[in-house]
Amino acid sequence: MRVYETAHDHCVMPGIHMVARLDGRGFTRLTREVHTFEAPYDERFRDMMVATVDHLMNCGFKIIYGYTQSDEISLLFHRDDNTFGRKLRKLDSVLAGEASAKFSLLLGAMGCFDCRICQLPNTEIVTDYFRWRQEDANRNALNGHCYWTLRKDGESVKAATEALKRLSTADKNELLFQHGINFNDLPDWHKRGVGLYWKLYDKPGLNPVTNEEVVSKRWRIKTDYNLPRKDDYDTFVQKIIRRAN
């Protein structure tokens, strides 16, 4: 019977960059109706997503960069990662399972993720991918703050949604400004998402032979809530890729 499981297995070719994209399933209802989180952004939810990314970067895959915004996660594999022979069904199912389990434990209730693997041919496309997701974060932040500003003014769900459809980016910024909100002054993680990457740090210790204090180098994950934007973000992502390869 094994052939029925494996006959259509697909593997990512060697040398191809892999990015896993995970999305929360039904998270709009989960965060608005089932559980009470502050709108449009809640630090508790952010911290749960960050902790989930941290877990995924430590559960057996060679992930060099993790990124999260809203209810989504993007994970950049080391180019030479060969976990599970790069089989798509294994990567998708294990990552979705790990993310769902970790987030559910943090939430104290069930929260599920789906997963798909993006196969990207070169570092330029990888950079474009992460630039795309960050621009999406910026759009989400502007729309989210405008929507909830209108809702707090007493507009219905339908009225607030329809009003935003008629507004340009400049109009949305002006709407917030008229309510005392300067979009540029909002926290960076609202507009740019959060990045996690490996960084060397000094770890003091004691040489048991000489009894002298020594400093060794160790890798640990750094969580960055103030990511750069646009061309600077491109450079930032490229630097992570070069350092890993």
Percent of the chain at pLDDT exceeding 90: 85
Residue closest to 118 by CA, chosen among 128, 104, 109, 107:
128
With bands split at pLDDT 50, 70 and 90, how would you rate the model's confidence at 57? very high
Q: What is the arithmetic mean of pLDDT over 185-208?
A: 92
At 134-180, the pLDDT tens digits run 999 999 999 999 999 999 999 999 999 999 999 999 999 999 999 99
Residue 108, token pair as written in the block: 């104290």
With bands split at pLDDT 50, 70 and 90, how would you rate the model's confidence at 2? confident
Q: What is the arithmetic mean of pLDDT over 192-218?
A: 87
Amino acid at 110: M
Residue 185, token pair as written in the block: 């002054």
Q: What is the arithmetic mean of pLDDT over 78-105?
A: 97
With bands split at pLDDT 50, 70 and 90, how would you rate the model's confidence at 236? very high
Q: 190 pLDDT exceeds 90?
A: yes
Q: Output 10 or 212, whichever has higher pLDDT.
A: 10
Domain range 2-124, its CATH number among 3.10.20.520, 3.30.70.3000, 3.40.50.300, 3.40.50.450: 3.30.70.3000
pLDDT at 202: 84
Secondary structure (3-state) at 138: helix
With bands split at pLDDT 50, 70 and 90, how would you rate the model's confidence at 5? confident
Compute the distance between CA of residue 124 and CA of residue 95 in angstroms, rounded to an integer: 25
pLDDT at 4: 83
- Average model confidence (pLDDT) across the chain: 95
Q: From the CA atom positions of the chain, what is the Rg in Å?
A: 21
Residue closest to 88 by CA, chosen among 27, 144, 9:
9
pLDDT at 39: 92
With bands split at pLDDT 50, 70 and 90, how would you rate the model's confidence at 212? confident
Domain spans of the chain, in order of start:
2-124
